[in-house]
Structure 1
């Protein structure tokens, strides 16, 4: 989906970026791109804030998303510097050209690699906690799960998610306010849905494991992109969407079975 939206926006902006109709069209397409990324953000935020006390979770969501929005705007303002991150290290530092693997990677690739590894580590660790029922014995608050640490992780992972989208957006249109507007609108949508979706995920262990499996897949995909192996987003979102639909049907089946098995309520005289 991400690739289709990007392709459509590129065709729309070709030859007439200044037209108001084209600007509105690109704004809507950019908003679509940001909302696709928002799915990843909501899942990450839901898992991370669950490690905080209840009274801090919503504040962590708002602060983390707000700082992530500011960081993304700074990336847009420094797009010239950001584009230089795509230069292979071997070209930027000739002394490192003799190292085969490192010389072909860029700083952006290294950031993606680190982010992908962290996401894989986080997803596997959380799956272990859920399956082994460690949270029920130890509680949700563990070592290193401070408010500042959780917010920092939210911001850093959002930067990893947004690197390619920022470069893609700038390639679509050079009107900066259009990109910033789409990012801000997506921020509002994610902020609205982050809490209810997060609460739903945490209330159903099977959905939480499915969400963590999705994050594990995203982490592997980010690592592959660091080594210039592109994976179409549809290959990830469609199977996970299908798995989610099956799980929701299973939940409804279990609920209906419980209701039918429950004894009828006795009438009071």
Structure 2
């Protein structure tokens, strides 16, 4: 208890907490975009439940990983070498998670742009279009869990690199996931109301997936570059949305 009080009186600890919360919130954007796109494909009555379960799993995973921090840190130790590059368990998890993200986003993009007429009884929506495959609730939660694991490990390793104080990590993770919980609904509804945003978000997921793969292979891409590119793309799309709205008004 005395150590916690000393930590609470330390200005450096508060600065580390604020920085770590901001970092965790930013890192959570990737996870939130994926959850929003995936749950929007579910029936309306189950979307909110799926989002809450997905984000709740993210919180449980991150707190659980923090409780085994020594094991998480050891994941960065190389387990074998390929072409002179040491590959750790963290690298393997990032590569697998990145590959899954690229595959999933590419598949979603294909479903959005597919123009081929299906054979009768094979995916027709009854109105001359292509019916999208709707994932089951359990399948959606399973896919969210896979990415939760990848993003949680990356998040915790980032936290370990920023501070040595476990209580600060716990508080930062809880605050960041709480922000995700409140932001999930509005973000998912916004994406659902604006179809062009879906394509932009899927493009973001491909970029994030490729970044994870590159990171796992030892080619680290600074997160600032990624999020600056994402912010610029969102700004351009916002201008497009304003232009389309004004054309409709006239």
CA distance in 1 between partners of 2:218 and 2:141 (Å): 29
> Are residue 253 (structure 1) and residue 243 (structure 2) matched?
yes
CA distance in 2 between partners of 1:174 and 1:221 (Å): 26
Q: CA deviation at 1:198?
A: 1.1
Deviates more, 1:153-162 or 1:106-115: 153-162
Q: CA deviation at 1:36?
A: 0.4
Q: Under a length normalisation based on structure 2, what TM-score does the superposition of the two structures give?
A: 0.87
Name which of 106, 110, 115 aligns with 1:128: 110
- Using a 3 Å threshold, how does the CA distance of structure 1 residues 232 and 135 change in structure 2: closer, same or farther? farther
Name which of 62, 66, 78 aligns with 1:88: 78
Q: Is the 8 A contact 1:89 1:103 kept in 2?
A: no
Q: Is the 8 A contact 2:57 2:148 kept in 1?
A: no
Q: CA deviation at 1:240?
A: 2.1
Name which of 216, 241, 263 aligns with 2:231: 241
CA distance in 1 between partners of 2:75 and 2:186 (Å): 37
5 Å-filtered alignment, 1:257-268, equals: 257-260=247-250
Aligned twin of 1:202: 192
5 Å-filtered alignment, 1:194-233, equals: 194-233=184-223
What per-residue deviation string (whole Å, max 9, x for no partner) do you get for residues 157-180 of structure 1? 122123232123123323212111
Q: CA deviation at 1:19?
A: 4.9
- Using a 3 Å threshold, how does the CA distance of structure 1 residues 245 and 172 change in structure 2: closer, same or farther? closer
Q: Is the 8 A contact 1:67 1:155 kept in 2?
A: yes
Q: Which runs of 5+ in 1 are unaligned?
A: 1-15, 91-96, 261-269
Name which of 52, 72, 76 aligns with 2:66: 76
CA distance in 2 between partners of 1:168 and 1:236 (Å): 16
Task: State the secondary structure of the residue aligned to 1:210.
Answer: helix
Q: CA deviation at 1:81?
A: 0.8
Aligned twin of 1:26: 16
> Are residue 58 (structure 1) and residue 48 (structure 2) matched?
yes
Q: CA deviation at 1:200?
A: 1.1
Aligned twin of 1:264: none
CA distance in 2 between partners of 1:171 and 1:244 (Å): 30
Aligned twin of 1:43: 33
Q: CA deviation at 1:138?
A: 5.1
> Are residue 107 (structure 1) and residue 89 (structure 2) matched?
yes
Task: State the secondary structure of the residue aligned to 2:37.
Answer: helix
Task: State the secondary structure of the residue aligned to 2:220.
Answer: coil
CA distance in 1 between partners of 2:110 and 2:124 (Å): 10
Q: CA deviation at 1:135?
A: 9.4
Q: CA deviation at 1:62?
A: 0.3
CA distance in 2 between partners of 1:119 and 1:174 (Å): 31
The aligned length equals: 235
What per-residue deviation string (whole Å, max 9, x for no partner) do you get for residues 200-247 of structure 1? 112222111011001100000000000110001122211221121111
Point out the structure with max Rg over C-alpha: 1
Q: Is the 8 A contact 2:58 2:177 kept in 1?
A: no
